[in-house]
Amino acid sequence: MTIPLAGVILIAVAIIGGAIAMGAFIWAIRTKQFKDLNTGAYVIFDKEEPVGEMTDTTFGYPEKNNPKK
């Protein structure tokens, strides 16, 4: 049974698309797009809700930290 033309087109598109994506990824790394990546994880915290403090203590809170609310 012959491989349908559709399959060939799809595989070609996938390879070209994958190559473009790979190229974009390498470009992003080289131009340092990812430099500030790890700081991104911290944007959800602020001065009142800093790292290290629970923000939901509906069932009570651990005695050691978070004595407020």
Q: Which residues bind another protein (CB under 8 A)?
A: 3-4, 6-7, 9-10, 13, 17, 21, 24, 33-34, 36-62, 68-69
- Residue 61: what residue type? Y
CB 26 to another protein: min, Å: 14
Give counts: helices (H), strands (E), the chain. Answer: 2, 0
**Which CB sits closer to another protein, 30 or 41?**
41
CB 55 to another protein: min, Å: 6
- The encoded tokens of residue 68 equal 């407020």
Q: Which residues, in sequence order, are CB contacts of 56 under 8 Å at separation 6+?
A: none
